Every structure is written in C-alpha cells, then in structure tokens.
Amino acid sequence: MAGVIRFLGHSFVEFTTSDDKVILFDPWTKDDGNPVCPVETGEIERADLVLVSHDHFDHTGSAVSICKKTGALLGGAVQTVGRMIKEGFSGNQVVNTGAGYMVGGGVELGWVRVVATPAFHSSDTACPLGAIVIAADGTTVYHAGDTGLFGDMALYGRLYPLDAAIVPIGGVFTMDAYQASEAVMMLNPKIAIPMHYASFPVVAPTADSFVALCAEKAPQVRVVPLAAGEKFSL
C-alpha cells in the first residue's frame, strides 16, 4: 500500500495513488482566491477524479475548471453536482452517470472506491459530506470535509481501517484542535493530517495544539502537519 498526499492549502488535498491516479479533494487554487495555495489552476496538469465535500466557494471554487482542463470525473452530493450541471458543466463528467451520490453511497470506478460519509456543517446545495477513498492497492484515505465532531467517526474507522485521515482543526467553522484530536482517537488512522487552518484570519494559525493533543490522546497515530505545497509519502 502506498501513495502520496500533497497538501495545497485550506482543504485542498491531492492524493496520488500507487497506480498513478490523481484524486483532488476540495480544489481551490491561488487564482480562484485561496490565500495559501501555492498553485494556480493552469499549473494542475493531471487529475482523474475531483471530489467536493460541500457547496461553499472555498471547497468548490476550482472544481469545474480543473475537470474541464484535465477531463477528470467530478464527485459530490446530488444537488451540488446538479447545480454545476445546470450552470453548464457536462453531466458526462459527473460520477454515477451524472447523478453524484449521497451519505452511505458513493461510487465504484474500478481503480478506486469512494464512500460518502456524513459531515456536520452547511452547504448551499444538498448536504455536506466527507469521503473515504479506497485505492486499488487498498490504501484508504479519509477527507473529512468541513465538519464538527461526531461519534460515528469511530464506526467509520472500524469499517474502513484508515491509512490517513485528513481532518479540519481550525475552529470557528469546523472542529478545533481539541475536538479534532478526539476525532483522531476515534478514527485511529496510521497517519493524521490537519487541514482548514492557517488560511482565514479567524481560524487557528498553526497545528501546534493539535499535534500536542494527539500525542496525549492517540500516541499510536503519526501526526503530519504539512505546509501548503508539501508532500508526504504514505
């Protein structure tokens, strides 16, 4: 099992699988307003699947343009992808023959399985989601989306043993470090990677508190805070 995670700022994460497929979570690039993203949309040369967690600008802002540029499939909640289709995006590039998915569902693409999980937040369309992706080699990565803490994280961690969990820690709009460390304890991944911090002025500026709290609550989990643009090999 292997793969490479690249953190691109805020909640924008790239996962390259061991068979060289590229999955982008919540793409929001520099030229679309992401204050900490080191890349512009034009610099993204490859993507096979783009997953959006919910319909807020800082999570969908670059999704359609990247899909059009790369030919990637788009996955997300039914009404969220439906809104994009109504605005001119081709339903042929949306998973499940243009339908998207909802909590408990997902999509099977042969080279990857996506499991849609709940997220406790808001969305301009449909509902917010998280995503567990299981690559062809079995590597399993959870992108929690924007969410608060919820007890079923323990259930998802048991059902889908995680190689990496990417969780928001910034507070105000999502879990803060204290709650996120509890999430890590419940999810019990091999690797925990923080996101949704050090981007907006009102959210946590560093992951220091999260790292310290995880060391107390889940010492078996390796915590890897990444600078925007930094990569980590699973």
For the cut 70, the answer to whether the pLDDT of residue 174 exceeds it is yes
Q: Where are the domains of the chain?
A: 3-224
So what CATH class is 3-224? alpha beta
CA-to-CA distance for 144 and 167, rounded, in angstroms? Answer: 5
Q: Is the dihedral of CA 160, 166, 168, 169 positive or negative?
A: positive
The residue written with tokens 């790239």 in the block is 14
Task: Please state, in angstroms and rounded to a whole number, the distance separating the CA atoms of residues 169 and 195.
Answer: 6
**Confidence label for 71 from pLDDT (cuts 50, 70 and 90):** very high
185-196: string of b/e by CB count within 10 Å (b at 16+)?
A: bbbbbebbbbbb
Confidence band, pLDDT 50/70/90 cuts, at residue 226: very high
Question: Token pair of 103, please?
Answer: 């909590």
Distance, CA of 64 to CA of 107 (rounded, Å): 19
Residue 181 is predicted with a pLDDT of: 98
Mean predicted confidence (pLDDT) in 45-59: 97
* The predicted structure's pLDDT at residue 1: 59
- Per the structure block, which two tokens stand in for 55? 């319909």
pLDDT of residue 131: 99
For residue 200, what are its two tokens? 């907006």
pLDDT in tens, 88-117: 999 999 999 999 999 999 999 999 999 999
Which residues are bridge partners to 116 per DSSP? 131
